[in-house]
Structure formats: C-alpha cells, structure tokens
Amino acid sequence: MLGSMMQNIPTELMRSFVKAIDGGSFTRAAQMVGRTQSAVSLQIKRLEDVVGVRLFQRDAHNLKLTVQGRTFAQYARRILALNDEVLALMQSPEVSGRVRLGAPSEYTDSLLPHLLGRFAQAHPNVMLEVTSDLSKNLLTRQKNGEFDLVVALHDDAQAGGGKPVHTEPLIWFTSADHFGHMQSPLPLVLAPPPCVYRRRMLQQLNRETKPCRIAYLSSSHSAVLAAVRAGLGVTAMAKSTLPGDVRLLGAADGLESLGYLEVRLHRLPTAESTEAIDYLETYIAEHLGQAGDAGSIPA
C-alpha cells in the first residue's frame, strides 16, 4: 500500500526551489532557470503540494525557509548534484578541449577547487586553465580575449551583464585572537582598487561617518587573510569564502551590514562555442551556489 502512495519529485521543481534560495527571490530564480517569475512561483507551489509541507514563509518583505524547507533544501541539493553528476559522467567521453576560466582568488582558494575537481573527474579530456584576479580586472581582461569564462562579483545589480548564479552576503570579520574592531579609527585590511569589497566597506563606513584607516594593503588574498589573522585589522569578504578560524563581526560589534553581492558568470561574446566551454558554463551556473553557504535568504 505504501508503494502506491509514493510520488516522484520533479527535478525541475527542486532546481527552481534551490535557485530561489541561492538567488534570494523568485525573480532571481526565474533569471537563473530561464523562466518567468510567475512560472517559478507556480513551480514552488506545485513542489509544496507534492511534498505536502510549506517550504517558504511568506510576508510582504521577506522570503525565508520554514524548518521543513531547510531540511528539504539539504536533500534537494544532494539529489540535484547526483542527477547532474550522472548525466556528466554519461556524456564525458565525448567532451574535450580547453577552457580558460578567470575567478576571484577567494573563490579559487575556497569553493572552486572542489567544484572543478568534480567537473574534471566527469570530463577528464577537458583541460582547465584557471587564473585569479580581482573581478573587475578579470572582466577587463576577458574583453581583451584572455578568458572564455569569468566568475565575477558585482556590487551593482543593475549593471555589468553576465548571468546571475548566486547571491552572497558580505561579512565583516577579524582575527579570533585580536580586537582590532574595537579601535578608533577602525584599522582596515584592504585590497587596492578596483576591489569590490574595498569599495563597499569604504562606502558603508563613510555613510556612517565612522573613523577608519588603512592598516594593511595587498592585492594577494592569502596576504589579506594573514594580516587579519595577525591582528592588523578587520576586513570583509563573501560569506561562503570565509575561513573557519576567524571571528565574524556585526552590528553588536559596531559594524553594520554590508548587504549582498551578486556572483555572475560571464562568457566571452566573441569566443567560438565549444562543448567544453558549454559544459563548464552550465556546470558552474548550476553548482556554484550549492558549493557555498546558501542556507539563508536575503530579505
């Protein structure tokens, strides 16, 4: 009797559900899956009907997961990852070539190694050339023909092009063993322009008229982290890229929210279309948000 009551959960419904989490809204989810906002809303309603529980709490200003929604999200991500992995494995013998990928250092150090490792296992005949730099530098270099694909952070949702694949909260942090955030002026550890993090931090502190000073400046991601760990000052990065041995800071520490940044995937418009580029573009778009900490949804 139990078997006759079981239902299959359509993967397209789970994919829209996960994208709503990663994007922070049904509108962003619609952009990511190539549907209208109303179609995604209907998909989420259908998914809730299939599983028999409410997955989102809804009011006029917020979109948040219910307790059941958080549990279901964990399983949905695992199911989608297995679905995509087996498809990639079945198709991998025919995919070969070279892909030049550019990404910010914090992503190549934290999220992308695991993500690209799985892609390489599924597509062993694809050669990946990965380069790290600041997002705006990467986009400039892509225009000059250096990269087929670029993962870039954007602090302006209305400009810059690219395909939205994830939304990241920007988080203040400092050393677990030091108290630089209690100093005045506030000591900052920054990268040089045109760093998106730097711009957002300085804009926020300027709005608050909070005194600050640049205590350490480096274009190296590892050097910035080392300076923070050594107690030279505070900084901020995308939440999913934060190391586990630092102290997160917020309003209780006198540092207000820095808001959210968009992660977008850019493809060189003039690049010759190859299966290798097509597959990596799709893979990153589908999996980058899953690799990060996407358990919460921005208001």
Residue 38 lies in a domain: yes
User: Residue 191: its pLDDT value, please?
Assistant: 94
Higher pLDDT residue, 214 or 64? 214
Which residue, among 134, 123, 52, 120, has the nearest Cα to 89 in the 3D structure? 123
Whether 297 maps to a domain, the answer reads no
Q: State the pTM of this model.
A: 0.70
Query: b/e for 21-42, b at 16 or more Cβ within 10 A?
Result: bbbbbbebbbbbbebeeeebbe
| Domain match, 80 and 196 both | no
Which of 88, 113, 139 marks a domain boundary?
A: 88
Residue 214 has pLDDT above 90, yes or no: yes
Residues 117 and 161 occupy one common structural domain: yes
Residues 276 and 150 in one domain: yes
User: What pLDDT, on the 0 to 100 scale, is given for residue 299?
Assistant: 26
Whether residue 198 is found in the same domain as residue 77: no
Of 66, 88, 110, the one marking the end of a domain is 88
Residue 299 belongs to some domain of the structure = no
Residue 65 lies in a domain: yes
Task: State the Cα–Cα distance between residues 201 and 237, nearest whole angstrom.
Answer: 10
Mean pLDDT of the chain: 85
Among 57-66, 73-82, 180-189, the minimum mean pLDDT is found in 57-66
pLDDT higher than threshold 60 for residue 282: yes
The last residue of one of the domains, among 88, 114, 147, is 88
Identify the residue with better confidence: 275 or 213.
Answer: 213
What pLDDT sits at residue 293?
A: 40
Domain match, 232 and 277 both: no
Q: What is the pLDDT of residue 228?
A: 95
Number of structural domains the chain divides into? 3
In a domain, 195, yes or no: yes
Judge if 101 and 248 occupy the same domain. Answer: no
Domain that holds residue 112: 95-165+268-291
